[in-house]
Chains A and B, each alone.
Chain A
Amino acid sequence: MNKKFMTAAEAVERFIADGDQIAIGGFTVTRNPMALIREILRQRKKELYLVVHSQGQGMELLIGAGCVRRVELAYGGVARFAPTGIRFRKAVMEKQIEVEDYTNLHMTLRFMAGAMSMPFVATRSGLESDVVRLSGFSKESRGKGRVPRDKLKVIDHPLEPEQGKVVVLPPLNPDVTLIHAQVVGEDGTVRIQGLTFADVEQAKAARKVIVSCEKIVPTEEIRRDPDRNCLPHFLVDAVVHAPYGAHPTACHMVYDYDPDHLNMFKRIAPDDDTFRQYLDEWVYPLETQEAYLDKVGEKQIEKIKADPDLGYAPGLDRR
């Protein structure tokens, strides 16, 4: 067996240290690497530095459980279930985390720049806005560790000065990127079905990559249709087999988001005590994904199972 294959506990233990800069794949309610994130909570990682575009449920758990010191993001919300992430909002208002606001394009470009070793990347997006004018990280934190010296700079167009100003942004090379994929080959080749969001850019930019997946298939099978693959095996440092590893977020073609769980989370998240009870029930005691799935229950899993043609659960009660 390929040495990259390991349990979530081993992957998090080996590749994630306190204080690391972590990129998380997925988008709001889809393909958040939840099994890996729950393991980070169980190992009580501290002072993490999240770099994300639009993050939902995964960031809610990491921030809520106190694993996070600072975040660079474009959007913190769990779609209609919590248009602003409940634990995210609370942590910002109570000054438990430092936040730096960017846009989805800014973050995507920064991951691309990191992946390509570009010195910086330029755009016009955000000119004149407070996204460009204001910085949320403390002055003392600037230039230390992974924190870039400047959030960004507005400069004259370096090639065509008559075209006015441009925004230049620092690249990102996170210590670790976590993504959840539908399929990984036995060689480590990754296949994501449906929208890839910025997972590929985030993975390519990272120093280490941990991929959790629904299914592992033989190398010859994943290479029979390489047009559908999105990351070569040698970029991947750890593969964790975690069926339903994005639950309660969706995984296109395999399962839908779980409205019952997300609505329940919405009810318990505002209060510190009920949120802690949630962690004591749904995260800390469930040391494996199998244990977690037992807790979710067969009935619920059946309810959110995706239709193979549509990729989601048609008619699911999503209120």
Chain B
Amino acid sequence: MKIDYTANEMMALCAGRLVNNGDILFAGTGLSMLAATVAKRIHAHEAVVFFETGGIDPSLIELPLAVGDPRVMVGTSVNSGLADALSLLAHPKLHTVAFLGAAQIDPYGNLNSTLLGSYEKPLQRFPGSGGACDAASMASGTIIFMQHQRRRFVEKLDYFTSPGWLTGGDSRQEAGFQRGGPIAVVTNLGLLKFDNRTRRMVLSEFYPFTTPDEIAENTGFDIELARAVQCSPPTKEELTTLREQIDPQRLILGPLKTAAGADSGRRKR
């Protein structure tokens, strides 16, 4: 039986599958919250979610719409503040994985969430780093959500907000970072990872409703496709958990168009 699902659902589940039991997850709102929660419910029961604002392991009965939302302050292990939360992010004994998003990404997973144009003459302004640069600098690893478009996957960032693998190879370590670096990029078209040696982005998985060629067409730099395999579609358990337990109001998942299935969600770029 064919199960219909949207690109947003595929993204949340694809990212959730990357979470390991015991990971300490630095979450934003949106898809990262869904990914973290679905992982906790299905396979990583001991993973813990915390927010840069200071909410440590909240119950998340209702989905927060902001990291400062009062909904991240309920049923927590500790309610604290930025200094406390950011100390967890950097803590050497914890394996912290941070979920990030951005306006632009380059082939080495460096991110721009500040502006388009130049710093002197911005053509567009975004909110800025917030805690993203801190997470990219200090967490054990990052998982990045992106909308897959050529103008977002660029050879050179307009502004370099958050450090990934810098210029590839050993450059991150040489710059003085003690750990970290991007683990994966989850987009509405597929899952991308980084070559272990060159640290350049490669296509790892394409979704059942996309093709490697389509992904290459939507990427503004050359990307290796040779290692790509098809991502397993959502299981019934994954979809039921996501839809019925985690986001029943579809606040983050967005509309479910069963008739056109996956394709309609995918076009919502």
Binding site for B on A (CB under 8 A): 26-30, 53-54, 73-77, 79-80, 83-85, 88-89, 92-93, 101-106, 108-109, 112, 124-131, 133-134, 136, 157, 163-166, 194-201, 250, 252-253, 256-257, 306, 310-312, 314, 318-319
Contacts and interface: CB of A to CB of B under 8 A. Distances in A.
B226 interface: no
Contact of B66 (A80, A109, A126): A80
B66 A28 contact: yes
Nearest to A254: B70
A157 B69 CA distance: 38
Contacts of A312: 62, 69-71, 74
B168 interface: no
Nearest to A165: B176
Secondary structure of the A side of the interface?
loop
Interface stretch (B40-48, B126-134, B201-209, B235-243): B126-134
B161 A92 contact: no
B82 A53 contact: yes
B78 to A, nearest CB: 10
Nearest to A136: B119
A84 B67 contact: no
B86 A124 contact: no
A199 B166 CA distance: 34
B76 to A, nearest CB: 9
B129 A74 contact: yes
B68 A129 contact: no
Given A29-B68, A197-B68, A198-B81, A75 B128 contact: yes
Most buried by B among A26, A76, A109, A127: A127
Given A164-B174, A197-B53, A104 B130 contact: yes
A80 B29 contact: yes
A104 B137 contact: no
B163 interface: yes
B41 to A, nearest CB: 21
B125 interface: yes
Contact of A195 (B72, B124, B132): B72
Contacts of B174: 164
Given A93-B122, A130-B114, A80 B129 contact: no
Interface of B: 29, 52-55, 61-62, 65-74, 79-83, 86, 110, 114-115, 119, 122, 124-134, 137-138, 159-163, 166, 174-178, 251
Contact of B137 (A75, A127, A165): A127
B81 A200 contact: yes
Contacts of B81: 195-201
A197 B54 contact: yes
Nearest to B83: A108
A198 B87 CA distance: 13
B61 A310 contact: yes
B interface majority secondary structure: loop
B134 A76 contact: no
Given A130-B119, A196-B80, A311-B73, A105 B86 contact: yes
A106 B177 CA distance: 16
B129 A103 contact: yes
Contact of A129 (B55, B73, B131, B133): B133
Contacts of A311: 70, 73-74
Contact of A306 (B53, B70, B80, B178): B70
Nearest to A201: B83
Given A104-B131, A105-B131, A195-B53, A127 B74 contact: no
Contacts of A125: 133-134, 137-138
A154 to B, nearest CB: 9
B83 A194 contact: no
14 contacts: A77-B130, A89-B124, A124-B138, A124-B176, A126-B129, A129-B162, A129-B163, A131-B114, A195-B55, A196-B81, A197-B81, A197-B82, A198-B83, A312-B69
B245 to A, nearest CB: 17
A124 B137 contact: yes
Contacts of A200: 81
